[in-house]
Structures are given as C-alpha cells and as structure tokens.
Amino acid sequence: MLPAAACGKIILFGEHSAVYGHPALAVGIPEGMKVTGLAPCDGPIRIRVSPWDLRASEASDDLLGEVLRRLSRLVPGERLGMEVDLESRIPPGAGLGSSAALAVALVRCLARVRGKELPDEQVRLLAHKLEKVFHGRPSGLDDTVATYGGLCLFRRDGFRDSTHRSITGQAVRIPWSVPTLVVGDTKVQRSTAHMVAGVRRRWEDDTRRVEALFEEVDSCLADGLKALQREDPQGLGGAMSRNQDVLSRLGLSCPEIDEMIALAGREGASGAKLTGAGGGGGVVAVAPGREEKLKDAWRKAGFDAWAVSFNGSGRRDPT
Ligand code: PMV
C-alpha cells in the first residue's frame, strides 16, 4: 500500500499577518499531492511530479536537490534512498501550498521506505524544516494544513482557552463545513520569500500602520468564522472581499488579481480575494450556485480555474 498523500491549501483569511503572530484560517485541498509509485533504492532519492513535468534527485544542483538532501538527513530509519512518483492536483507557485504538500508527501514516503510510521506531528515538523529551505521563514500554516487537511485556524503562538479541538500547539480544528470554492491561478509567477520580505519592509517602516491593517484582517477572519458557523456564504464572501481590500492596501494585489476579482463580481460571486503570498498566484471566490459560470469566465479570460469541494471540514481529509 502506498503512503498517505498530502493536502494543498486555500488560505481564506490571514496570509502575511500570520507571519506576525495573527491568526489565519485555511482549508486543505484534499489529495493535493498523491503518491502513485514508490520503490526503495540504495542510490540517491529521485522524484518525479506530474503534471508539473518535474524531475529531481539528491544530486540536483538546485533548490529541490537541497530539499532532497535535507530530507535524507532528517528522516530516521535505515539509510535507504527512494524513487517516488507523485501526482499533483495543484499548480506549483500559485499560493495553493504546493511546496508544503510536496514536503509532507516526501517525508511520508521516505519514512515508509525506511521502515518508520511517523505520527502526523513529526511529519509536520520535518516538513516545516523542508519548507524553510523553500521559503526562508514560513509561518507553519502551510505545513500544518498539508499534514492534517480540513479547516484549520492557525496562530504561531497557539490558542489559549479555545473551545475547538487542538491539532497541534499552533492550530485548532474548526468543525464547520466550507462551501464549494472557486480557485483561480493568475499564472503570474512570484516568489513567496520576496512577497514576505516586501511586507517585512513595510512593517519595519511603519509598524503601527501595518499592525492596524493586520487587526482589520483579524476582524475579517472573525466575521468569516461567524459566517461559516451559520452556513452563510454571502457573509463569508463579504468578509473575504474586505480581507482583499486590506491586502490590496498592503501592496499585495496586481492587475491580474484585480481583473479576476472584478470578473468574480460580474459573475455574481459573494466575494473573492487573493490567496497565498499575492503579487500573482492564486485567487479564491465564493460563488454559491454560480461556480461553473465563474470558472468558465476566468478560463475564457486566460486564467486557470477549478471548483474545489470539501467533504465536511471537521473531518480529516482522506489521505
Ligand atoms: O503563497 P504561499 O502558498 O507560499 O503562502 C504564503 C502564506 C504567507 O502567509 C504569505 C507566508 C506564511 O509563511 O504564512
């Protein structure tokens, strides 16, 4: 039997502010990364990811080679390599957690090959170390959702007195269901590390202003949570649009994101925002009953788009 896969993620509220200790809410994309083939070997780790057309090995002289060398050092057990084939449902570099999903899948695969069944929390911790190679100083949100799936409320310093079940020291499980979301990719490439560094500069220049904007995000998140609890997609969309307005004021939007959001409005969506680091990458919309129309409109305008449904977010996604 092949090991469990890993989830992609859609950040509903709180990207960037999460890096500064504010809460963020994200939902796992079930089976964002699936394992389709796995064999132990004595040589270096080799991976293939379809449909990204990506091949790499521990000997590769690039970032992925560095990730694989780190992986080999981190995972306990017999010193074996592996050949692994992965199939991704999510595009790379689109703010949908592709690197964290890859990291979690690789940790699970190598642990299996080396005869270890690691608990999820250890998988997450090791994946977080790989995410550091990809992104510098990730908040941990992506690797949490990639490991556990479902709807997760995350905060770097954790939650005291939460009424929700904790899944890690930093995240609690929100037991409410998420409506079908429409996710789009601007196809504008950008680096998360670069976008995070840009916000850091703004925060250092004017901490009070940027913290005030982060507090506005906190209030959008609180409204979004209430809307999810009462199964109110209009309220959820409205709160997401307000979060987008703040992200835009932080300089994280771009013409393509603005165009996708305007199109979502014209197609009757209740709200839309960028998801992930911004400056390109992904957009997410709530468009109850109009998901297919919005998907078609985004595709017609030259963007990639998918409708993503969830199987009741209180449950762990089938991995
Ligand atoms: O674009 P992504 O999927 O790498 O998401 C980044 C989310 C940030 O909040 C901007 C960074 C982080 O580490 O949480």
Beta partners for 274? 283
- For the stretch 259-288, pLDDT in tens is 999 999 999 999 999 999 999 999 999 999
| Structure tokens that stand for 154 in this block | 């995350």
Q: Quick check: 317 pLDDT over 50?
A: no
- For the stretch 286-312, pLDDT in tens is 999 999 999 999 999 999 999 999 975
Q: State the chain's mean pLDDT as an integer.
A: 94
* 83, containing H or E segment: strand 81-88
Q: pTM here? A: 0.93
- For the stretch 55-90, pLDDT in tens is 999 999 999 999 999 999 999 999 999 999 999 999
Q: Quick check: 41 pLDDT over 70?
A: yes
Task: List the one residue out of 64, 61, 80, 83 whose CA is nearest residue 72.
Answer: 80
Pocket test for ligand 1, best of 15, 152, 191, 202 (most atoms within 8 A of CB): 15
Q: Quick check: 313 pLDDT over 50?
A: no
- For the stretch 111-121, pLDDT in tens is 999 999 899 99
Paired sense of beta strands 151-154 and 24-41, if any: antiparallel
Any ligand 1 atom below 6 A from CB of 100: no
Q: 53 near 171, Cβ under 8 Å?
A: no
Which residues, in sequence order, are CB contacts of 102 under 8 Å at separation 6+? 6, 33, 49, 86, 88
Rounded to the nearest angstrom, the distance between the alpha carbon of 16 and the centre of ligand 1 is 7
Per the annotation, the verdict on 245 as an active-site residue is no
Catalytic residue among 62, 120, 142, 157: 142
- pLDDT, residue 316, reads 38
Q: Where are the alpha helices (DSSP H) in 114-167?
A: 120-135, 141-148
Q: 192 near 135, Cβ under 8 Å?
A: yes
